[in-house]
Structure 1
Amino acid sequence: MNPLIPPGARADRLDTPTGRLRVLSAGPETRDRPPLLLVHGGGSDNAAISWHGLMGPLAERRTVLAPDLPGFGGSMDVPPVGGADALADVVAEVMDSLELTRAIVGGVSMGGDVALNLALRHPDRVAGLVLIAPGGLIPLFRNRATHFWAWAGTRVPDPLLLPLVRLSGRFTRSAVRAVVKDPGTLPGPVIDEFVRESRRPGGGLAYTRYNQASIGRHRMLNDLSERVAEISAPTLLLHGEDDPIVDPAGSRRAAERMPDARLVEIPDCGHWAQSERHDLVLERILDFLERVDPSPAP
């Protein structure tokens, strides 16, 4: 089966210091305005899954780029690098290899965590942020008991952990449907690709490494809630009100603390707002892009 490619996008391979990564691209190749650089989520996600319905419409007026991070999708053969800080440096490498000085950076879930780290570690590279149900903004995973067992799961030695990761691939279809409010909103090809990725050799390993770097025994190690005030880039946060994975409270706190941020909470929506409420998310992103970087006069 051929890999999923979003309508209107093309796939290329890009050499970076970390490895040869797959990068999806769409839209006009123009240097007169910053491109939109999109970072996918975790689990068995990749750029084509996260941004399947958005790349084409967003690319009508600007370049849109979406890399597969090490250990995900078309970059599965590149060894995972760990947490969101290391992944942010990989995104900076992608920008260097593409000779991009700045970009408007979008991220969903884990990708939102990566985008926040990029804005903190490489602030001059980020012209704006679009964060969909971003990770990296909660001090504790759900409650103390759940957090402890999540941490304990990340401490299992690889000889036991990796077979469990492979076994979990058998239940991916049910798991995907559980993170959204209405499973009927998810395109079939997107679900099929997510399942296929979870069953590939090495599928889920990179996300395991991210979780190992993110979940501490008593707290989240990647919680940036106290640092988001340092981010001056204009920011749009989009979060489903019924998200069962990432608590919307983290996005609320971030929107209050960031100098130039707006939060849109989306009713009747779970974790994958870009798929569940595609039209609304697209509209809000386009409005934000026009505010941050207006279209040139005809």
Structure 2
Amino acid sequence: MTDRLLPPGATASWLQWAGGRVRLLRGGPGTDVGSDRPPVLLIHGGGYDNAAISWSRVFGPLARDRSVIAPDLPGFGDTEGIEVSGDPDELADLVVGVARSTGINRLVVVGLSMGGDIALRVALRHPEAVAGLILVAPGGLTPRLRNAPTQLAAWLAARLPDPVLFGLGRVAGRFTDSYLSRMVHDPASVDAAIRTEFGREARRPGSGVGYGRYNQATLGPRRMRNNLLPQVSRIAAPTLFLHGVDDPLVDPIGSRTAAAVMPHAELVLVPDCGHWLPVERPDVFLAHANDFLTTLP
């Protein structure tokens, strides 16, 4: 669709993949810039997100002096025709395969929320491919949701028949302004172009399937199946955690706990910020990201 949001500095292309195609946003001077500027892979979050939404305000600045790629995951955006399993390990393998198909074998992986869970798995499953990690309010770092009843209720909801589950998702997609307001500390920080694309994504046929399948794959009746806290100490890559202090969706305690046990990790807690740091505080995200990128060996 020609009216879809496209971040400044990005061009959209499609890769044939597993019987379908992956939309890939690309920018920057290419992969042969030099070893001191590793390419960056951006992995978006769940819900009604896609690669253009969460990274729209930071893609261009990141791509000024390095190659940047950002795929739409299966079930999101303009990626189509690929089986949507929602399994975060499979998604980690997919994004690494997509990067390698463009000639990139080693990169900095940046993941937001659900994308942070996937980025952590890239580092665990493909350590040779990871020059560094930037994790923004990452998922995959909690043993259980708030309490046992909440965990059980979420698991039961994810087990609803597809027509009911995704029908409810389409109803919820009519209230995107309310949904957005709960994600951020200051709703005024979300500009009109992002709101429009978020609403368009919510109304897209098949919207919600990607995140629904992810929840089905990761929610258990008593605990989270994707909890990586017992494994993250194995990640040796330099890692930067960025987490809004006022995040209403992902408790910063997971980032705090993981950063404490990873050998080369740093945590930055951002005051007056909710879940969506690259959208609501892009200047803060870019300042810390660029400082981190310049220190990588």
Q: Give me the TM-score of the superposition, normalised by structure 1.
A: 0.95
- CA drift of 1:82 comes to 1.5
Aligned twin of 2:218: 214
Contact 1:44 1:197 in 2 (8 A): yes
What is the RMSD computed on CA atoms of the aligned residues?
A: 1.2
Contact 2:21 2:80 in 1 (8 A): no
Q: Aligned equivalents of 1:25 and 1:287: distance in 2?
A: 22
Q: Aligned equivalents of 1:262 and 1:255: distance in 2?
A: 6
Unaligned runs of 5+ in 2: none
After superposition, the C-alpha distances for 1:4-57 in whole angstroms (9 at most, x for unaligned) are 000111101112346310100111013223200100000110000010011100
Choose which of 152, 155, 167 in structure 1 pairs with 2:156.
152
Aligned twin of 1:71: 75
After superposition, the C-alpha distances for 1:165-224 in whole angstroms (9 at most, x for unaligned) are 211111222111111110011121111111110111100111000000011000010010
Q: Is 2:112 the partner of 1:108? A: yes
After the TM superposition, which residues 37-56 of structure 1 pair with which residues of structure 2 at under 5 Å, given as runs? 37-56=41-60
Task: Give the secondary-structure state (helix, strand or coil) at the position aligned to 2:143.
Answer: coil
Counterpart code for 2:4: P
Choose which of 170, 174, 181 in structure 1 pairs with 2:178.
174
Contact 1:76 1:202 in 2 (8 A): no
After the TM superposition, which residues 68-217 of structure 1 pair with which residues of structure 2 at under 5 Å, given as runs? 68-217=72-221
Task: Give the secondary-structure state (helix, strand or coil) at the position aligned to 2:78.
Answer: helix
Counterpart code for 2:274: G
Task: Give the secondary-structure state (helix, strand or coil) at the position aligned to 2:220.
Answer: coil
Aligned twin of 1:296: none
Q: Is 2:265 the partner of 1:264? A: no
Q: Aligned equivalents of 1:144 and 1:76: distance in 2?
A: 36
Q: Give me the TM-score of the superposition, normalised by structure 2.
A: 0.96
Q: Aligned equivalents of 2:26 and 2:188: distance in 1?
A: 28
Q: Is 2:288 the partner of 1:284? A: yes
Question: Which is further off, 232-241 or 154-163?
Answer: 154-163
Counterpart code for 1:266: V
- CA drift of 1:77 comes to 4.1
**1:74–1:4: structure 2 CA closer, same or farther, 3 Å change rule?**
same
After superposition, the C-alpha distances for 1:79-113 in whole angstroms (9 at most, x for unaligned) are 31312111101112102211211111001000000
Aligned twin of 1:229: 233
Question: Which is further off, 77-86 or 224-233?
Answer: 77-86
Task: Give the secondary-structure state (helix, strand or coil) at the position aligned to 2:154.
Answer: helix
